[in-house]
Structure 1
Amino acid sequence: MAPWSDKAKRKPTTRRRLFRAAGGLLLAGGAAYGYARFIEPTWIDVVERDLPVPNLPPAWAGLRVGLVADLHHGRRVPIEYLRRGIARLASLEPDLVAAVGDFVTDGGQAYADAAADLFRDLSPPLGVFACLGNHDYGVTHPVPHAEAGPIAGALPARSVRLLRNEAVRLERGGAPLWIVGLEDPWSGRCRPAEAFAQVPSGEANLTLCHNPDAADDLADAGAGAILAGHTHGGQVQVPLVGPLILPVRNRDRYEGLHEVGGAWLYINRGLGWLLKIRFACRPEITILSLRRENASRAGGPANGE
C-alpha cells in the first residue's frame, strides 16, 4: 500500500488533468461552433465535375453548366454575400446557368426584386434557366395548390427563363438539347407528364427540379440528367454520422451525383441558409461539364457519391 502522503500528492494531479481535459473540450467545442457559425456559412466551395447525360449528341459534349440553388435571400441572408457568390459564378464563364429554386425565404417584393437582380450580372451565351422552390411559393411543407410569390414575376423581368412544367429546345449543329423545368413538388403543381410531353422520346435533356425527392418520378417520365437543390446538404454533417436533419424522404440523396432509375441526379448544397450554421458542408457553386452517355437510359454506379 502506498503511503498516505503519496495518495495526497496524486489527487490534485488527477483533478488538474480532469480540469484541463474539460477545459480543452470546452475550448474545442467553442472553436467548432465559431467556425460553423461565422466562417463556413460564407466560405463558398466551387465544385467542378462531369455530368453524364443519356443520349447527349456529340455537339453538346463539354458544355459547361453553372448550377446554383437555395439563395434564400431575406432577413437572414444578406444580398452582399449572394452578390459575391454570383460574381464568383460569373468569373467561371459557364455556357449556361441553371438556378433551381428557393431564391427567397421572405416573400416580399423587395426581396424578390433584389434576388432577381443578381442574375443581371450573368451573361452566359445560352442564357439563364430557372425553376421555383418551395419557399418561392411561401410553403415549408406540401400543400395542395400553392401560389407562386413575387419572384415568379421578378425573374422573367430580368431575362431569366423561368420554366414551370415547360421544356425549351436548344440546338447546336442541328442537334437538340432540351431544358425542362418543373414546378416545386410541395406546391402541388409539379406535373412531369405535362413537361415531358413536349420532349421527343430519346432526346437529351437537362431537367431542373428543386426537390430531389421527385427524381424517381422524373426518371420515369423521361428525365436524363436532373439538377436539384433543397437539401442544403444538411448544412451540418457530423463526422461518421452525416446530416442530422434533411427535408427529404430519401436520406441517401442529399448532395452530389446519384444514379436514379437510369437518369442522373446532381444535388447542389445551396448558397444560403435558414439558420446561419454550416459544418463540413460548405455552400456550393457547381460547374458541370456535360459528357456523353451513349446507352439510352444507361445505369451504373454514380462516380461521386
Structure 2
Amino acid sequence: MAKKQTRRTFLKRTFGSFLTVLGLSSGGYLYAHRIEPSLLDIQEQQIKHPLIPKSFEGIKIAQFSDTHLGFQYNLTLFKKLAAKINDLHPDIILFTGDLMDEPNKYTEMNQLVPILETLHAPLGKYCIFGNHDHGGYGSEIYRNIMETTNFIVLLNESIPIKLNDGSSIYLLGIDDAMLGNPDLPLALKKVPNNRFTLLLSHAPDLAESALQYPIHWQLSGHSHGGQVKIPFIGPLVMPPFAQKYPEGLYTIGDENPLTLYVNRGIGTTRLPFRFMAKPELTIFTLRSVES
C-alpha cells in the first residue's frame, strides 16, 4: 500500500497552496471562491468487461463523492444535487466518502437526512467511509445517517447486486486508508470466482494494492481533482493516498489490468476554493462485451 503521510505534512502543503491562491488576480479569486465551487460537471463513462452479464447491459450507476458539508458546501446546493441525480434515473447510487467536513460539529442533521432519503435507485444505494467520516469521532455519526437513509455501508465487505434472472455482479467497499483499516482480502472473502467486481475505495492510490487481487474496476474520490490546478504546474492540493491518481480514468497493469476512475468530488476542504477542478457527478453505464 502507499506510504502514509502525517497530517502536519499535508497541512503544510495545503498552506502553501493557500498562498498560491492568494496570488491570483481578484477576478480569479472571486471565480475560485464563489463561482466554480457551485458549478457541476456531469461526466459520463462506460464500464465494459466480459464478466458483466448481458442482463446488466445499460444499467446506470451514479457516483458522487466528497460533499464536505459544513465547510463551504451547503444543503441548498446538496438538495439541487440530489434532484439532479434523481432526474438522471440511475439504477444504482454510490457515495464514495466524506459526507461532512467535521461530523461531530455538523448541526444540520435533521435537514440532511430528508435530502438523502429522496435519492432513489431501484438496485440500491451504497457508500463507504472517507477520512472525514472517521475524523472528529464521526464514524458512528456517519454510519447512522447513511443507514437511516437506506444506504448500505460497505466496510471491508462485499454485496451481490442481483437481477431477476439470477445474474449478478459484486460490489466491494473498503475502509479509508488515512484513518481506517482497509482490508481487501476480507472484502473479497465471499466473492465467487469469475464474477465482475467493482471496488469502492475512497483513496484512489490503493489501486496499486487492488491490482494484486481479482478486482476489475475501482471507483474513488478523495483527491478533489487537486481542488486548485495551475496551468503548466498541475494540481496543488494533493492529499495522502491521492497523489498518483488525482482524477479521471486510468488503466493500471498489463496482464489482468485494473480500471480506476477518480471522481473530483463535490465540495471543498481546507481551502474554500476550486480552480480548474469543477465539482463532479459521474454517470457510468454498464456494458457487456465479448472476451
TM band (smaller chain): 0.7 to 0.9
Secondary structure of 2:178 counterpart? helix
Asked if 2 retains the 8 angstrom alpha-carbon contact of 1:113 and 1:154, the reply is no
Structure 1 residue 184 displacement after superposition: 0.9
2:260 paired with 1:265: yes
Q: Higher mean Cα deviation, 91-100 or 70-79?
A: 70-79
Secondary structure of 1:138 counterpart? helix
Aligned residue among 152, 159, 166 for 2:157: 166
Aligned twin of 1:106:
102
Asked if 1 retains the 8 angstrom alpha-carbon contact of 2:46 and 2:286, the reply is yes
Structure 1 residue 205 displacement after superposition: 1.7
Structure 1 unmatched ranges of 5 or more:
1-27, 140-145, 296-305
Q: How does 1:149-160 map to 2 (within 5 A)?
A: 149-160=140-151
Structure 1 residue 112 displacement after superposition: 5.1
2:136 paired with 1:136: no
Q: Deviations over 1:221-243 (max 9, x none)?
A: 22211110000001111112210
Asked if 2 retains the 8 angstrom alpha-carbon contact of 1:112 and 1:151, the reply is no
Asked if 2 retains the 8 angstrom alpha-carbon contact of 1:138 and 1:149, the reply is no
Q: How big is the alpha-carbon RMSD for the aligned residues of Structure 1 and Structure 2?
A: 2.2
Decide whether aligned partners of structure 1 residues 122 and 181 sit closer, same or farther in structure 2, where only a CA change above 3 A counts: same
- Distance in 2, Cα, partners of 1:65 & 1:122: 13
Structure 1 residue 54 displacement after superposition: 5.3
Aligned twin of 1:234:
226
Q: TM (normalized to structure 1)?
A: 0.80
User: Rg: which structure is higher?
Assistant: 1
Secondary structure of 2:186 counterpart? helix
Asked if 2 retains the 8 angstrom alpha-carbon contact of 1:82 and 1:271, the reply is no
Structure 1 residue 52 displacement after superposition: 2.6
Aligned twin of 2:21:
none
Asked if 1 retains the 8 angstrom alpha-carbon contact of 2:203 and 2:242, the reply is no
Decide whether aligned partners of structure 1 residues 212 and 71 sit closer, same or farther in structure 2, where only a CA change above 3 A counts: same
Opposite residue 151 of structure 2, the aligned amino acid is: V
Decide whether aligned partners of structure 1 residues 294 and 259 sit closer, same or farther in structure 2, where only a CA change above 3 A counts: farther
Aligned twin of 2:204:
212
Aligned twin of 1:292:
288
2:71 paired with 1:64: no
- Distance in 2, Cα, partners of 1:89 & 1:147: 26
2:244 paired with 1:247: no
Aligned residue among 179, 183, 190 for 2:175: 183
2:122 paired with 1:125: yes
Q: TM (normalized to structure 2)?
A: 0.84
> How many residues in Structure 1 have an aligned counterpart in Structure 2?
264
Q: Higher mean Cα deviation, 125-134 or 72-81?
A: 72-81
Aligned twin of 1:15:
none
- Distance in 2, Cα, partners of 1:284 & 1:68: 7
Q: Higher mean Cα deviation, 250-259 or 176-185?
A: 250-259
- Distance in 2, Cα, partners of 1:174 & 1:127: 16
Asked if 2 retains the 8 angstrom alpha-carbon contact of 1:129 and 1:163, the reply is yes
Asked if 1 retains the 8 angstrom alpha-carbon contact of 2:206 and 2:241, the reply is no
- Distance in 1, Cα, partners of 2:110 & 2:174: 22
Opposite residue 157 of structure 1, the aligned amino acid is: T
Structure 2 unmatched ranges of 5 or more:
1-23
Structure 1 residue 63 displacement after superposition: 1.2
Q: Higher mean Cα deviation, 195-204 or 169-178?
A: 169-178
Asked if 1 retains the 8 angstrom alpha-carbon contact of 2:71 and 2:268, the reply is no
Secondary structure of 1:285 counterpart? strand
Opposite residue 155 of structure 1, the aligned amino acid is: M
Opposite residue 124 of structure 2, the aligned amino acid is: G
Identity %: 29
2:77 paired with 1:81: yes
Aligned twin of 1:279:
275
Aligned twin of 1:91:
87
- Distance in 1, Cα, partners of 2:242 & 2:144: 32
Q: Deviations over 1:112-171 (max 9, x none)?
A: 5554443211111111110010000007xxxxxx87240111111111111111111122
Aligned twin of 1:148:
139
